[in-house]
Chains A and B, each alone.
Chain A
Amino acid sequence: SGELCCSLPNPKNVHFESINMKNVLHWSAPEGTGDGVLYKVKYLVYGAGKWIRKPECRNISRTWCDLSSETSDYEEQYYASVKAFLNGMCSDWMETTRFNPLTDTKIDPPTVSVSSTEKSISIILTAPEKWKRSPEGESVSLLQVYPGLQYNVSVLNKKTKKRWFFSISNNTLVVPWLEPGTAYCVSAQIHITTPLLHSGFSKEYCIATLNDKTA
């Protein structure tokens, strides 16, 4: 196929790194090759007939390639492969394991907004959006991708250091019977049961309940 002789060491650790289904192929440079190594990338929809070259990742010197567009259908699974070139020599094609965007992506924490009254705080949670081709593209919440998505919410009384945990399916939570004029900090995590996935906890969002007007 006109390929050069393949005696260059292989790229290593070829794998997808995926966050909210932004799927980027990463690899490490072949051992002992120094500067000047170039790479090309191809990918395949598992079960479909052929490998497809990625033109934007042809003869590149960086060691990553964004394949989010090519792997955006999360009902499919994928393989990707990388070959290295240097001074007329080349490596073998080195493949990923089978990549399943639905189960192999990492999920960002939800965004949290809080408001308060004298004796309660209201929490609104928003799941991250699935990666999209362009800002004008249609927004798809991960809630639509994972119908079983739930939120774990932590509420901390800064004065007493008492903490409550809630697990909710809808995206709003009102925590009643709180102390007036007290600071509370809220943090939340996404939890999906099928497939089993969870995000980290968000940073803490703190708010104080209003002072008791009758006091």
Chain B
Amino acid sequence: LTAGNKIFHFGPCRVSISMTEIRSGFTAIKDNIQARDPIRTLSILSYPHSLHKVKSSDRCCVTHHLFNFYMDKVFKHCKTEDSYINRKISSIANSFLSVKRKLEQCHEQNKCMCGQESTEKFKQILVNYEGLNVTSAAIKSLGELDILLDWM
């Protein structure tokens, strides 16, 4: 277990995540990225229901969906004019990639089952995301990374 890593137990699925690295990467870019998101009254992850309402049995599937979401729909659309910010984003993306693979293995081994509620929850997140243009939605989602991390 590398320093700063934390073992997450999603039922039978155990995943080691470099939480400290991800958090410090996000803290370094948080104000910059959130300042690029002018929409205060909409949230991708916590509207209309907070992630904190997700049942524990659905946590693994929602986490799996969200890590895929960030890899497929967020990081790649967050190029900025600031190379420092871009480096931090790709460092976070690299950390996410290794977690995504581990969650994928759990899913293939039927240890990360998706219930009705988690599917609905994730559908709502996609609706929120698709309600904005891609760049705005990606920047807003990146600015909400601490909502995901706090929930985990």
Known: A47-B47, A98-B143. Contact between A195 and B149, CB under 8 A?
Answer: yes
Q: 8 Å CB contacts to A: which residues of B113-152?
A: 143, 146-147, 149-151
Q: Do the beta carbons of B150 and A193 come within 8 Å of each other?
A: no
CB-CB under 8 A from A98, the residues of chain B are: 30, 34, 143
In the assembled complex, the Cα of A79 lies from the Cα of B43 at a distance in Å of 13
Q: 8 Å CB contacts to A: which residues of B1-50?
A: 4, 6, 19-20, 23-24, 27, 30-31, 34-35, 40-43, 46-47, 50
CB-CB under 8 A from B34, the residues of chain A are: 97-98
Asked if B101 is an interface residue, CB under 8 A from chain A, the answer is: no
Q: 8 Å CB contacts to B: which residues of A23-79?
A: 44, 46-50, 75-77, 79
Q: Do the beta carbons of A102 and B20 come within 8 Å of each other?
A: no
Q: What is the minimal beta-carbon distance from B124 to any residue of chain A, in angstroms?
A: 12
Known: A47-B41, A49-B41. Contact between A193 and B46, CB under 8 A?
Answer: no
Asked if A4 is an interface residue, CB under 8 A from chain B, the answer is: no
Asked if A154 is an interface residue, CB under 8 A from chain B, the answer is: no
CB-CB under 8 A from A46, the residues of chain B are: 40, 43, 46
Chain B: interface residue total (CB-CB under 8 A) = 25
Q: What is the minimal beta-carbon distance from A52 to any residue of chain B, in angstroms?
A: 12
In the assembled complex, the Cα of A97 lies from the Cα of B34 at a distance in Å of 8
With both beta carbons as reference points, the residue of chain A lying nearest to B4 in the complex is identified as: A193
Q: Do the beta carbons of B42 and A75 come within 8 Å of each other?
A: no
Asked if B52 is an interface residue, CB under 8 A from chain A, the answer is: yes
CB-CB under 8 A from A194, the residues of chain B are: 6, 19-20, 23, 149
Chain A interface size, under 10 / 10 to 19 / 20 to 34 / 35 or more: 10 to 19
- A-B pairs under 8 A by CB, number: 52
Q: Do the beta carbons of A102 and B150 come within 8 Å of each other?
A: yes
Q: 8 Å CB contacts to B: which residues of A195-212?
A: 195-196
Q: Do the beta carbons of A97 and B146 come within 8 Å of each other?
A: no
Contact with B along A72-114 (1 / 0, CB 8 A): 0001110100000000000000000110101100000000000
CB-CB under 8 A from B27, the residues of chain A are: 103, 196
Known: A47-B41, A48-B41, A98-B143. Contact between A75 and B20, CB under 8 A?
Answer: no
CB-CB under 8 A from B35, the residues of chain A are: 97
CB-CB under 8 A from A47, the residues of chain B are: 41-43, 46-47
Q: What is the minimal beta-carbon distance from B125 to any residue of chain A, in angstroms?
A: 12
Known: A76-B46, A98-B34, A194-B20. Contact between A103 and B40, CB under 8 A?
Answer: no
CB-CB under 8 A from A103, the residues of chain B are: 27, 146, 150
Can you offer 23 A-B residue contacts whose CB atoms are under 8 A? A44-B40, A46-B40, A46-B46, A47-B41, A47-B42, A47-B43, A75-B50, A76-B46, A79-B40, A98-B30, A98-B143, A100-B146, A100-B150, A103-B146, A103-B150, A193-B6, A193-B19, A193-B20, A195-B149, A195-B150, A196-B23, A196-B24, A196-B27
Other than A46-B46, A47-B43, A48-B47, give 16 A-B pairs with Cβ distance below 8 A.
A47-B42, A47-B47, A75-B50, A75-B52, A76-B46, A77-B147, A97-B31, A97-B34, A98-B30, A98-B143, A103-B27, A194-B23, A195-B23, A195-B149, A196-B20, A196-B24
